[in-house]
Amino acid sequence: MKIILKIKGMHCDHCKMRVEKALSGISGAGKVEVSLMWKKATIEAEDDIPDALLRDAVSDAGFEVTAIKRKN
């Protein structure tokens, strides 16, 4: 499953790395790619990850999730 997060507040590579680290630490998250240009993160997950867990991880890193989309 692919989970795509739109993220508000990222402005630099340090921001990007903080979001990548936060999302990579979630149990069940596989490959994590963060695009600073598109202000989004893409997670390849084996199982579904609850929205609240994704939002909390990004929030704890200092940013805000504005949308979550899932693709099979």
Domain count, the chain: 1
Return the pLDDT at 17: 97
Extended strands (E) in the chain: 2-8, 29-35, 40-45, 64-71
pTM: 0.94
pLDDT 10s digit of each residue in the chain, 72 long? 999 999 999 999 999 999 999 999 999 999 999 999 999 999 999 889 999 999 999 999 999 999 999 998
Return the pLDDT at 1: 94
**How far is residue 30's CA from residue 62's CA, in Å, rounded to a whole number?**
22
CATH, residue 43: 3.30.70.100
Return the pLDDT at 72: 84
Nearest CA to 57 out of 21, 31, 33, 28 is that of 21
